[in-house]
Amino acid sequence: MKIAFVLLTYNPDEPAGIERSVGSLSVGLRELGHQVITIAAGPASATDGPDLVRLDSIRLPRPMLFDDLPRALADPGPLRDEVSAVLVKHHVDLVCWADAVVGLGYLAPAPRGVRTALMAHLVRDNHWMHESLAHKPDAVLAVSSFLVEESARAGVDTSGWQVLPNPLPRRGTPPLFGMREQLRLTGPLRTLARADPVKGISGLLRAIPEDFDRPVQVALADAGFELWPGMQHDVRHECQQLAERRPQIELLSALPWDEVQDFLADAALAIVPTTWPETFGNVAAEALSTGTPVVGFHLGNLPHLVGGAGSLVEIGPAAEIHHIGAVTSQSAQPPGAQEGFARLWAATAALLSDSDGYHAASEQAVRQVAGYEPAAVAGAFLRCVGVHD
């Protein structure tokens, strides 16, 4: 089959969950023998490959403000026509709108006879998702049961939705027991995130206990979008100031997608300090695939994803939980976050000091994401849309 994913913001190695999931799913579909293209907004970049089709009718600035996108889509006629023409030109059999907005699910410009699928990664309570569903896609694929439940609470009709987890980039390679034990004793704590306040990196670094002397390494990346002008600069600057005060903090450059699992495999623990509910949790999943236990907040999909493969703590008794789409200003931290970060570090110390508990979590980690390899999820994707793999 010829399969197309539509995601305006797609760039190779983009530090963003939807882009990363599309990239990994494309790998799995190609492993199964299918042809895949991705359709994205211009301009082209030096890292574009032959299977990335750039559109002429829309060009997005980098970084793009979320508020810029509705203005860019104000006259959707040329965009609708160009996407439809691209699908015809490439003889596409199945098109997947990777999101209601940036994946153009609300327009759904599919030629007659082309099967359609709509991905849901974010909770949406606005007209975009309702318009997307009104086009009656052949399948709606939600990234987690948590997302289905939250979408239903937001007033979205989720009847008929199917759950399709984000695939891993590849099967993880856990270190042998001896190396894992050495990591428990002396290894660094690692995480990676885009420079966004909701990812909790500055709160994590600010709350490091005075007597904690392990290396704390953070790969911090700038994405192609932000909530307000200079948001990513502000977050990076704050983290740099915190790193200057504590010698064990190391801020690293953004990682290519294919290096993330190895980076997390060599960590004592992966910390996921996101202070707002993740609808999936790519960083956690990739850490688990390498046998690295995860510490984070008991929010969103993480309890289901991590299970007994780490330690999750409450962010705060007064925390008011919202979805990612609710964060529109610098006041991104929910109530109770400061106390939550202290609990997170206490859980980290407790897990590292418990040899039996640590290794049990490490062994459970790989089981938590069994079946998340690219080809396995790609096969599930095809079955969801009514196609045999």
The secondary structure of 256-296, three-state, reads: CHHHHHHHHHCCCEEEECCCCCCCCCHHHHHHHHCCCCEEE
Q: What is the pLDDT of residue 6?
A: 98
Contact between residue 166 and residue 285 where contact means Cβ atoms under 8 Å apart: yes
Q: What is the pLDDT of residue 316?
A: 78
Please give the Cα distance from 56 to 53 (Å, whole number).
Answer: 10
Q: How many CB atoms lie within 10 A of CB 128?
A: 18
Question: In sequence order, what are the beta bridge partners of 117?
Answer: 96, 139
pLDDT category at 337 given cuts 50, 70, 90 is confident
Q: How many CB atoms lie within 10 A of CB 327?
A: 19
What are 73-128's pLDDT values in tens digits? Answer: 999 999 999 999 999 999 999 999 999 999 999 999 999 999 999 999 999 877 89
pLDDT category at 226 given cuts 50, 70, 90 is very high
Residue the block writes with tokens 């929910």: 334
Q: What is the pLDDT of residue 317?
A: 57
What are 272-282's pLDDT values in tens digits? Answer: 999 999 999 99
Residue 196 structure tokens: 């966004």
- State which H helix or E strand residue 137 sits in: none
pLDDT category at 342 given cuts 50, 70, 90 is very high
Between helix 337-353 and helix 355-368 the angle, nearest 10°, is 110
Residues 303-308, mean pLDDT to the nearest whole number: 98
Please give the Cα distance from 257 to 129 (Å, whole number).
Answer: 29
Q: What is the CA radius of gyration of the chain?
A: 21
Q: Could you give the maximum distance between any two Cα atoms of the chain, in Å?
A: 64
Please give the Cα distance from 193 to 181 (Å, whole number).
Answer: 26
pLDDT category at 387 given cuts 50, 70, 90 is confident
Question: In sequence order, what are the beta bridge partners of 35?
Answer: 2
What 3-state class would DSSP assign to 313? strand
Q: What is the pLDDT of residue 325?
A: 37
Of residues 46, 302, 45, 25, the one with CA closest to residue 37: 25
What are 157-175's pLDDT values in tens digits? Answer: 999 999 999 999 999 999 9
Please give the Cα distance from 212 to 248 (Å, whole number).
Answer: 9
Q: Which amino acid is at 111?
A: P
Mean pLDDT check: name the lowest of 68-82, 250-264, 274-288, 318-332: 318-332
Phi and psi, residue 6, nearest 5°? -110, 120
- Look at the alpha carbons of 203, 254, 6, 379 in this order and tell me if their dihedral is positive or negative: negative
Please give the Cα distance from 6 to 93 (Å, whole number).
Answer: 14
Cis bond before residue 63 (omega within 30° of 0):
yes
Q: What is the pLDDT of residue 329?
A: 41
Phi and psi, residue 192, nearest 5°? -150, 150
331 CB-near residues (< 8 Å, 6+ apart): none
Strands 310-313 and 294-297: parallel
- State which H helix or E strand residue 344 sits in: helix 337-353
Q: What is the pLDDT of residue 330?
A: 43
Burial pattern 1-25, b for ≥16 Cβ within 10 A else e, equals bebbbbbbbbbebbbbbbbbbbbbb
Please give the sequence-ordered ranges of beta strands (E in DSSP) within 32-164, or none if there are none.
35-42, 52-59, 64-65, 94-97, 115-120, 139-142, 162-163
Contact between residue 40 and residue 73 where contact means Cβ atoms under 8 Å apart: no
